[in-house]
Structure 1
């Protein structure tokens, strides 16, 4: 029996397990398939189906749903890489992709270089992105129990102590000039997502999918809220498709999440629901 037939049979078995609501067994079957055939779209689509049925709405589920729609990025941009956890997750879903991690914090360089080496076919550039290359800006770095997560051009509205660094911005288009198109762009830069995109119109124009951290409430002083980000990307040909990793504050109030957008110029936007 050929490997292709073996995979077909395993996929069929996983489908039957899902129909029987035996999701744990189906998950194990699909993980075995992905170990043998990393990034197999049919397996990722079935894993996305399990996530929907069980109400999972994390980043991994969102990336699997993108793969199930046919996204197979050759090049991925991880903007706001921090310590590389998202790049590792993206590698598990899209094993063949080249990943460029971009991080503003120079102190994260050694950690990210090690993660790039571990992942393979991944690289790091330390740069503070913005709408204009050479512009001096002030970077706000909070001191939290979780480290320096939350670093941004826009001060976080929290009681944590913070320090500032004087830095110089670089446009995204200048940083990646001459490189192949990036099919998937992820941005998690604490309210500065639009600033980054304004410096990368050419990079954005060739993307098939964009993942952006959005805020419903004013989490960072002066940063645009979700409605502005959705409108900005809509005007540039991107349709919001999904919503993952919702974060809730006191009283269960939703204040942040990651929004997934698809280019209307791509073939990825579904033309029907069922």
Structure 2
């Protein structure tokens, strides 16, 4: 169990957050949703992964409130270059590490969130898609209007994936779509000294939990 993740999610629960539907984009083997299940056991989970991992299929068959779609999401429905080594670095945006130095792209068809989930509502969305987070959200701007929390893996120092938007561009995009930073959920550090990626929880500005958080600040010192 990822205790840090569970503690952060449990903090949302203490604020009164109790999601009915959770969308996990970049599910890999389903471990993130499995951890989340410990905090929100009654929620329905939709796990998205463009690679057909047997581990993911197995866990979705085993857990009744897990569902799975084998799709690649992007800002438009089109054909893109896809860099695949069958690990957590697979992406539309090529990883700049040595692991992908000899990886040649293949063509893959993409879909959008607003097309696939036109009639759905997700209270919590997590996106860990190796630099494609903003591109995916651009294709789901109607969907996220009714989402309370979004968790994004974001670049921090340097460029881990080629041609990816900067940290500040991620913040500005979320602000423009009515979301602000709520908490830091994880840090990716290389060699104990380089913070190259960061996982951030964003909250919808219309959420009542944001008012609760502000009230906590306003009553400090009383």
Question: What residue is the counterpart of 2:41 in the other structure?
Answer: 95
SS in 2 for 1:76: strand
Which range moved further: 95-104 or 249-258?
Answer: 249-258
Residues 106-146 of structure 1 deviation map (CA, whole Å, 9 limit, x = unaligned): x32x322211122221100011001112x01011113xxxx
- Quote the offset at 1:195 in angstroms: 0.5
Bigger Rg over Cα: 1
- Give the distance between the partners of 1:231 and 1:73, measured in 2 at CA: 26
2:179 paired residue number: 238
Aligned-pair CA distance for 1:57 = 8.4
Q: 3-state DSSP class of the match of 1:200? A: coil
Matching of residue 200 in structure 1 with residue 140 in structure 2: yes
More contact order relative to length (CA 8 Å, sep ≥ 6): 2
Structure 1 residue ranges without an equivalent (≥5):
1-55
Unaligned runs of 5+ in 2: none
Partner of residue 228 from structure 1, selected from 169, 184, 208 = 169
Residue number in structure 2 paired with 1:157: 96
Question: Does residue 129 in structure 1 map to residue 73 in structure 2?
Answer: yes
Please give the alpha-carbon distance, in whole angstroms, between the structure 2 residues aligned to 1:87 and 1:251.
Answer: 27
CA gap 1:129/1:103 in 2 versus in 1, 3 angstroms: same
Higher share of residues assigned helix: 1
Deviations 1:81-101 (A, max 9, x none): 011000101111101100000
Distance 1:165 1:175 in 2: 23
Relative distance call for 1:235 and 1:139 in structure 2 (3 A) is: same
Q: Distance in 2 between matches of 1:255 and 1:220?
A: 11
* Structure 1 position 59 matched with structure 2 position 5: yes
**Counterpart Cα distance in 2 of 1:139 and 1:59:** 29
TM-score normalised by length of structure 2: 0.90
